[in-house]
Amino acid sequence: MSRLQALNVPIRPWVPRWLGLVTAFVILLPIMLINGAYTGDIIEVSGTLGVMSEDIRMAYYATSAGMAIAYPIIPKLRPVITTKTVLLSDLMLQVVLSLICANVTKMEIVIACSFFIGILKAFVMLEFIIMTRPFFSPSNVRSEFYAYFYPLVFSGGQISMALTAQLAYSYQWQYMYYFVIILLLVAILFVLICFRYARRPINFPFREIDWKSMLLGSSVLLMIIYVATYGKTLDWFSSDKIVAYTCIIPVLLWLFVYRQKVRKVPYIRLTVLNSSKALIGYLFMVITMVLSSSSSLLTSYLNSVLRVDSVHANSLYLWMLPGFICGAIICFWWFRWQRWRFRRLIAWGMTCFAIYLAILYFGIRPDGTYEMLYLPMFFRGMGMLILFIAFGVYVVEDMDPKLTIYNAFFLITFRSALAPALAASFFNNMIYRMQLQSMSVLSETMRMDNPLAAGPYNQALQNALAQGRPLEDATQLATNTLYNTLQVQGLLLGLKTLIGYTLLFTIIMAVISRFIPFHKTLKVAIVRTGEDMV
């Protein structure tokens, strides 16, 4: 009850505190699920609209880019706008953008809406943090807050994918948008009823916001994501767009950095990057996201080898939720007790990823089972939460509290926008190349004097002839059957090779992490929470 009394929720006098807490979580629920594009229904959307899967992924990553761009301007807007005004206008705009995404067929519009949805999500997320921080951590300790907040946020992403796939399979892919819109309207109703009305003249600080820096930063992020996402499809530097963006990105990045240095009140304070702990933390978060993005290899295995439908493929990620909970519990008690060195915590997080990859490496085979993948997903979820919470605290240990909001910009930029896009591009391109190499090697033995190749070919040929097909058609069908087998075997070899290299890298990182002196002493200073914890 003491936690409820300390809440920062601006509720009406007659509203009980517990209802104020419920209202805060009702607001959070649609924010965790909403996105401009959902990766759980890629197949359905691609088939219905005739768009590429890269278009949907581009829109998905654009949401994270929008969140990163929004954080530096939030401190300038919160003093002049009440919480109720922010939530009502924000949630209503998200309803409008979701309706647009559900009804348009141009992916350029969806990508633009996704970017603005990310900006709006940042405002609501920060309001939720401010409202519930006393509930999650009465003593205002960052590690305690992360241990509660991170499992909620990351679980929402996994639930969103599974729910999207289920709604797309049972109804239509637009139903996920409509479901989120209903949740947004319920949240708006709760805000109208429970939040108190406060008169405050709205004086939007147009001149205080560096719009040019926002435009430059947004352009750099979106161009990098575009190059990484569409590189394989457009054949990289054979595309004029890829070449143009690759040349423009360094120029815009230099203009962005230069503008921050010459302005008295910069959009982003680059002094955040002067902290060695921040740089180490960002690096390890990028590595964590790269390892986590290896799930794209798992998706290839599920779709091409096990022939699992999209509902089961996305439902598999729900097994990460118990891992999130275990990882959060480990970090909560580690930071409270601190009986072991920080390096051991990081090494264990990397070891969880090594276990995840090792199970995949030895478990992926043509006769593999869907149930075999439950355990590796659990360890993947545990490793993610441990490393994110640990380095989320580590990067701000020696940081000026005034810079923590800018830390959110770099954290989301590296962790949620750039790292997933670049890592997914790397794995997709590598598995494509390795599959072709493996097929080239295997095809050398695909001759009629090889009984392993001749057996399936003759069986497929006889089955086609028995169905009354002409000899020419039967021969073509038998050849296609052999080619499909070759593709699956080539994919399996490519997956084994790439997962093996990733596993080796993870083991090396786990060993290195065990000996890195992150802290000179055993005890880690208690870091207070700020307004940067997304």
- Residue 434 lies inside a defined structural domain of this protein: no
- Residue 301 lies inside a defined structural domain of this protein: no
Number of domains in the chain: 2
Over residues 174-192, mean pLDDT: 92
Does one domain contain both 116 and 184? Answer: yes
Distance of CA 227 to the CA centre of its chain: 18
- Residue 427 lies inside a defined structural domain of this protein: no
Q: Cα–Cα distance between 71 and 126 in angstroms, integer? A: 9
What is the extent of the structural domain holding 149?
A: 9-196
How is residue 251 written in tokens?
């120029």
Does one domain contain both 173 and 238? Answer: no
Over residues 3-32, mean pLDDT: 80
- pLDDT by residue (tens digit) across 403-415? 888 888 999 999 8
Over residues 440-457, mean pLDDT: 70
Percent of the chain with pLDDT over 70: 90
Over residues 188-204, mean pLDDT: 78
User: What confidence score (pLDDT) does residue 142 get?
Assistant: 84
- Residue 516 lies inside a defined structural domain of this protein: no
Please provide the average confidence, as pLDDT, over all residues in the chain: 85
- pLDDT by residue (tens digit) across 292-314? 988 888 888 888 888 888 888 88
How is residue 69 written in tokens?
């761009």
Over residues 466-490, mean pLDDT: 73
AA letter at 335 = F
Closest CA to 28 of 101, 90, 93: 90
Higher local confidence (pLDDT), 117 or 488: 117
User: What confidence score (pLDDT) does residue 377 get?
Assistant: 93
AA letter at 140 = N
User: What confidence score (pLDDT) does residue 522 get?
Assistant: 53
User: What confidence score (pLDDT) does residue 185 get?
Assistant: 95
Q: Cα–Cα distance between 134 and 143 in angstroms, integer? A: 13
Q: Which residues contact 333 (CB under 8 A, 6 or more apart)?
A: none
Higher local confidence (pLDDT), 417 or 467: 417
- Residue 133 lies inside a defined structural domain of this protein: yes
Beta bridge partners of 528: 141
Are 68 and 413 within 8 A, CB to CB? yes
Does one domain contain both 112 and 220? Answer: no
The residue with tokens 């009629």 is 448
Closest CA to 340 of 85, 524, 109: 524
- Is 332's pLDDT higher than 60? yes
Does one domain contain both 138 and 243? Answer: no
Does one domain contain both 183 and 97? Answer: yes
Does one domain contain both 216 and 187? Answer: no
Extended beta strands in 7-162, E state: none
User: What confidence score (pLDDT) does residue 157 get?
Assistant: 86
Closest CA to 252 of 282, 283, 224: 224
Does one domain contain both 164 and 252? Answer: no
Higher local confidence (pLDDT), 158 or 487: 158
User: What confidence score (pLDDT) does residue 1 get?
Assistant: 40
Does one domain contain both 119 and 146? Answer: yes
- Residue 390 lies inside a defined structural domain of this protein: no
Picking from 240, 266, 292, the residue at the C-terminal end of a domain is 266
pLDDT band (50, 70, 90) for residue 172: confident
User: What confidence score (pLDDT) does residue 2 get?
Assistant: 45
Picking from 250, 266, 282, the residue at the C-terminal end of a domain is 266
- Residue 91 lies inside a defined structural domain of this protein: yes
Higher local confidence (pLDDT), 491 or 49: 491
Measured distance between the N- and C-terminal CA atoms of the chain, rounded to whole angstroms: 26
- Residue 129 lies inside a defined structural domain of this protein: yes
Does one domain contain both 149 and 220? Answer: no
CATH of the domain at 152: 1.20.1250.20
How is residue 515 written in tokens?
């000996």
User: What confidence score (pLDDT) does residue 13 get?
Assistant: 83
Does one domain contain both 110 and 67? Answer: yes
How is residue 523 written in tokens?
């005890």
Does one domain contain both 164 and 226? Answer: no
AA letter at 155 = S
Over residues 141-166, mean pLDDT: 88
Does one domain contain both 51 and 131? Answer: yes
User: What confidence score (pLDDT) does residue 388 get?
Assistant: 92
- pLDDT by residue (tens digit) across 55-82? 889 999 999 999 999 988 888 887 778 8
